[in-house]
């Protein structure tokens, strides 16, 4: 409980003022999660669990986060060890940089540069695709099977690394999901991925509840 006697939200969704973030909020509401949308750095830094949805591109997203002081709040939250989930561009900004926005620093939680999708494929990838689970997601993928179908909308992606928990093949293999300690991230949009995506969000809420 907070000082006002209200229940502390289980999930705090970061509002950085770009695009329509309501789909993520509605998805958490649909699964019965206690959730709030905020652009207040203090609320984010003190939250129980934080979700950074992805709408837009790398450079403008980082600019918006920095202008609002949300980059520091997110970094402080991640350092606290509490559960964090990045979605699409919200995953990409966890890296050090992106080919999409040369010269723009990311949050640097994950090493490396986000690369443009390569190969003889239509870009952006805007479709349902399967992912292959390749490492421990610490419960994020419970109940999904080995190759669930999920919805992607992107032109850039992180390369496969030691932190990759799921891969997708679209012209080449890339990280469909990663995990580094308390940080989870997906290149696909779970909030737009039907029952499988809702199960992932529900699993994240369970992780947050178990952590609190």
Positions marked catalytic? 88, 189, 191
Q: What length is written for the chain?
A: 212
- On the CB side of 74, CA atoms within 13 Å amount to 30
> In angstroms, rounded to a whole number, what is the distance separating the alpha carbons of residues 115 and 127?
19
- C-alpha 186/C-alpha 90 separation (Å) is 8
d(CA 143, CA 156): 28
DSSP 91-107: HHTTEEEETTSTT----
CA 151 to chain centre: 14
Burial class, 102, CB count within 10 angstroms (exposed 0-12 / middle 13-18 / buried 19+)? exposed
Cα–Cα distance, 32 to 16 (Å, whole number): 24
On whether the CB atoms of residues 135 and 94 are closer than 8 A, the answer is: no
Q: Please give the DSSP secondary-structure letter assigned to residue 66.
A: H
């Amino acid at each position: 409980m907070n000082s006002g006697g209200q229940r502390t939200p289980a999930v705090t969704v970061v509002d950085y003022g770009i695009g329509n973030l309501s789909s993520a909020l509605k998805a958490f509401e649909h699964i019965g999660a206690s959730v709030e949308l905020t652009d207040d750095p203090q609320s984010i830094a003190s939250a129980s669990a934080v979700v950074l949805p992805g709408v837009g591109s790398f450079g403008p997203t980082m600019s918006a986060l920095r202008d609002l002081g949300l980059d520091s709040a997110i970094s402080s939250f991640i350092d606290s060890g509490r559960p964090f989930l990045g979605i699409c561009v919200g995953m990409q900004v966890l890296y050090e940089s992106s080919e999409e926005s040369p010269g723009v620093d990311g949050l640097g939680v994950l090493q490396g540069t986000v690369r443009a999708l390569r190969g003889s494929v239509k870009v952006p990838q805007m479709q349902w695709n399967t992912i292959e689970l390749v490492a421990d997601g610490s419960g994020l993928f419970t109940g999904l099977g080995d190759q669930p179908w999920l919805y992607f909308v992107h032109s850039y992606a992180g390369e496969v690394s030691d932190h990759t928990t799921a891969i997708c093949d679209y012209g080449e293999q890339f990280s469909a999901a990663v995990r580094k300690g308390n940080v989870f991230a997906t290149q696909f949009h779970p909030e737009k991925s039907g029952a499988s995506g809702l199960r992932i969000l529900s699993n994240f809420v369970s992780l947050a509840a178990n952590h609190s």
